[in-house]
Amino acid sequence: MKPLDKLDRKIGKYAVRNLMTIMVGAMAFVFLMDILLQSAGKPPLTLFISFDREAIFSGQVWRFLTYAFEYPASSPLFMLFTLYFYWLIGSTMEREWGSFRFNVFYFSSVLLTAAVGLITGFATNYFFNMALFFAFALFYPDFEVLVFFVLPIKMKYLAIIDAVYFLYMFIVYPWPGKICLLVSIALLAVFFLDEIVGGIKRTYRRLKWKSNFR
């Protein structure tokens, strides 16, 4: 995307480096604070940072951004695995795309998802975090991860599972959820269409090359 290349040359030096490390650290902090606050009989921090359209219109404008710090699951083991997954994917894609492009994609996702949420009443950080997963799988289809730190599985197979799950969510979610999901996928396509198409071509050539030697 040429406009992004031009912006990168002009203001790329101001990009936040290691953005996903910061985001994952913030999510882990919120999780720990929730545990401490609830153990003290107080409301969890999540209650004050989650997206809430009525609360935003009532003056709690920070929720427009802070919902991005919500952690993905309540189970400590599942959350630990998911945060590791977020960090792995986000950090790798930042190296692949460059910090500036990754910043633009991520911050645009946060802002546009929240803006749409002001209309629909629903916004979540889950969809745009997992949208990165598809891009990662296109660039590194044979990359192996340890699911729950035990079971090795290639990214291309996890991507298929995730795609099926996304389709399921699109079917069962009400319209606000459907729109939120589509926004995340659309942003990924708009910002990184050339790279994604290139990843598909590389994957196709790799598969074709392998088939010729069977």
How is residue 39 written in tokens?
């153990």
The pLDDT value recorded for residue 102 is: 92
Q: 58 burial class (0-12, 13-18, 19+ CB within 10 angstroms)?
A: exposed
DSSP per-residue string spanning 57-107: HTT-TTHHHHGGG--S-SSHHHHHHHHHHHHHHHHHHHHHH-HHHHHHHHH
How is residue 171 written in tokens?
């079917």
214 residues of the chain, pLDDT tens digit each = 577 788 888 898 999 999 999 999 999 999 999 999 999 999 999 999 999 999 999 999 999 999 999 998 768 888 888 898 899 999 999 998 899 989 998 999 999 999 999 999 999 999 999 888 887 887 788 888 877 667 888 988 888 888 898 899 999 999 999 999 999 989 888 876 776 677 667 767 777 776 776 6
The pLDDT value recorded for residue 195 is: 66
Q: Give the three-class secondary structure for 145.
A: strand
User: Cα–Cα distances in Å, from 93 out to 102, 103, 118, 151, 183?
Assistant: 7, 11, 29, 23, 19
Q: Which residues pair with 151 in a beta bridge?
A: 147
The pLDDT value recorded for residue 196 is: 66
Q: How far is CA 24 from the centre of its chain?
A: 11
CA distance 110 to 106: 6
